Amino acid sequence: MDGLIKEITELNIGKVRENEPLSQHTTIKIGGPADLFIEPSSIENLKKLMEIIRKSKLKWRAIGRGSNLLVSDRGIEGAVIKLGQGIDQIQINGTEVRAGGGQSLISLATNISKQGLSGLEFAGGIPGSVGGAVYMNGGAHGSDISKILNKALILFEDGSLEWLSNEDMKFSYRSSILQKERPGIVVEAIFELQKGEKEKIVTEIKKNKDYRKDTQPWNYPCAGSIFRNPLPNYAGQLIEKAGLKGHSIGGAKISDMHGNFIVNTGSATAEDVLALIQHVKDTIFDLYEIKMETEVEIIGRK
pLDDT in tens, 86-145: 999 999 999 999 999 999 999 999 999 999 999 999 998 888 899 999 999 999 888 999
| 1 pLDDT more than 80 | no
Distance CA 90, CA 103 (A): 8
Q: In this structure, are 193 and 145 located in the same domain?
A: yes
What CATH code is carried by the domain that includes residue 46? Answer: 3.30.43.10
Q: In this structure, are 103 and 196 located in the same domain?
A: yes
Give the number of other Cβ atoms within 10 Å of residue 225's Cβ. 21
Mean pLDDT confidence for 197-220 = 89
Q: In this structure, are 71 and 96 located in the same domain?
A: no
- Stated as kind and residue range, the H or E segment containing 261 is none
Q: In this structure, are 160 and 200 located in the same domain?
A: yes
Asked if residue 163 is part of any domain, the answer here is: yes
Q: In this structure, are 71 and 103 located in the same domain?
A: no
Which pLDDT score is estimated for 126? 86
Q: In this structure, are 72 and 20 located in the same domain?
A: yes
Catalytic residue among 61, 65, 98, 174: 174
Q: In this structure, are 211 and 150 located in the same domain?
A: yes
Q: 139: left (phi > 0), else alpha (psi -120 to 50), else beta?
A: beta
Q: In this structure, are 135 and 205 located in the same domain?
A: yes
Which pLDDT score is estimated for 180? 82
Of 256, 267, 291, residue with least CA distance to 277: 291
Q: What are phi and psi of 67, to 5 degrees?
A: -85, 160
Q: What pTM did the predictor assign?
A: 0.91
pLDDT in tens, 69-82: 999 999 999 999 99
Domain's final residue, options 82, 111, 129: 82
Query: Is 146 an annotated catalytic residue?
Result: no
Asked if residue 226 is part of any domain, the answer here is: no
pLDDT in tens, 211-257: 888 888 878 999 999 999 999 999 999 999 999 999 999 999 999 99
Strand partners of residue 216: none
Strand partners of residue 186: 154
Asked if residue 225 is part of any domain, the answer here is: no
| 48 pLDDT more than 90 | yes
Which pLDDT score is estimated for 135? 95
Looking at the structure of the chain, the number of domains it has is: 3
pLDDT in tens, 4-44: 888 888 889 999 999 999 999 999 999 999 999 999 999 99
Asked if residue 70 is part of any domain, the answer here is: yes
pLDDT in tens, 254-293: 999 999 999 999 999 999 999 999 999 999 999 999 999 9
Asked if residue 227 is part of any domain, the answer here is: no
What CATH code is carried by the domain that includes residue 144? Answer: 3.30.465.10
Alpha helix segments (H runs only) across 78-181: 105-113, 130-136
Distance CA 268, CA 247 (A): 13
| Residue 167 CB-density burial (10 A; 0-12 exposed, 13-18 middle, 19+ buried) | exposed
Strand partners of residue 38: 16, 81
Q: What are phi and psi of 7, to 5 degrees?
A: -65, -45
Catalytic residue among 20, 39, 295, 297: 295
Domain containing 28: what range?
Answer: 2-82
Which pLDDT score is estimated for 127? 84
Which pLDDT score is estimated for 14? 93
Mean pLDDT confidence for 186-207 = 94
Domain's final residue, options 48, 66, 82: 82
CB of 79 closer than 8 Å to CB of 38? yes
Asked if residue 223 is part of any domain, the answer here is: no
pLDDT in tens, 160-177: 999 999 999 999 988 999
Q: In this structure, are 208 and 114 located in the same domain?
A: yes
Asked if residue 229 is part of any domain, the answer here is: no
Q: In this structure, are 142 and 188 located in the same domain?
A: yes
Query: Is 54 an annotated catalytic residue?
Result: no
3-class SS of residue 34: strand
Q: In this structure, are 98 and 210 located in the same domain?
A: yes
What CATH code is carried by the domain that includes residue 292? Answer: 3.90.78.10
Helix axes 105-113, 198-215, angle to 10 degrees: 150
* Residue predicted with more confidence, 76 or 159: 76
- The vertex-86 CA angle with 84 and 90, nearest 5°, equals 90
Asked if residue 198 is part of any domain, the answer here is: yes
Q: What are phi and psi of 202, to 5 degrees?
A: -60, -40
Catalytic residue among 23, 225, 255, 297: 225
3-class SS of residue 69: strand
Domain's final residue, options 51, 82, 113: 82
Distance CA 53, CA 8 (A): 10
Mean pLDDT confidence for 175-189 = 93
Task: Enumerate helices (H) and strands (E) in the chain, giving the number of each.
Answer: 7, 18
Q: In this structure, are 96 and 204 located in the same domain?
A: yes
User: In terms of DSSP bridges, do strands 194-195 and 117-118 run parallel, antiparallel, or are they unpaired?
Assistant: antiparallel
Query: Is 129 an annotated catalytic residue?
Result: no
Distance CA 180, CA 182 (A): 6
